[in-house]
Amino acid sequence: MQLTVYTDYALRVLIYLAVHERWVTIAEMATAYGISKNHLMKIVHQLGHEGFIETLRGRSGGLRLAHPPDHLYLGEIVRKTEPHFHVVECFHAPTNRCLITPACGLASALGEACDAFLAVLDRYTLADIIQEKQVLAQLLKLQ
């Protein structure tokens, strides 16, 4: 299973915000990660819309987590940032042209694997993945 770059960056945004205890800017995160500011703006918009982060406009504005890190589950974040989980063609009936679909057990096996993947992510929170907060701060060049 492979996550989109969009979800990868969304998780990085949340990690960055979890390491901080202040409002941060998109420009700051873009610089720290070497990611396009415009790309991050789209991600931040969705994260705010989904209720994962708070945004504050204006001169002293920025972003911060809307909930404590131990209340943000990775499975929920991935489900809301991934456009779909069509691992193979037959997962999407409207565009499926695979001739063997009616007799093939691949969709069932891959569906079960996808469910297991998300079930594991459901057991972890943002707090679980930032346990090395000091090291993360150093890697992000924070003081």
pLDDT string in tens for the chain (143-residue length): 789 999 999 999 999 999 987 899 999 999 999 999 999 999 999 999 999 999 998 888 899 999 999 999 999 999 999 988 888 888 888 988 988 888 888 889 988 999 999 999 999 999 999 999 989 989 988 54
What is the value of pTM for the model shown? 0.89
User: What is the domain count for the chain?
Assistant: 1
CATH number of the domain enclosing 129: 1.10.10.10
Q: What is the rounded distance in angstroms from the CA atom of residue 98 to the CA atom of residue 104?
A: 10
Q: Note down the domain range covering 55.
A: 5-139
Q: What is the rounded distance in angstroms from the CA atom of residue 8 to the CA atom of residue 84?
A: 15
**Backbone phi and psi for residue 68, each to the nearest 5 degrees, phi listed first:** -60, 150
Give me 25's structure tokens.
């800017």
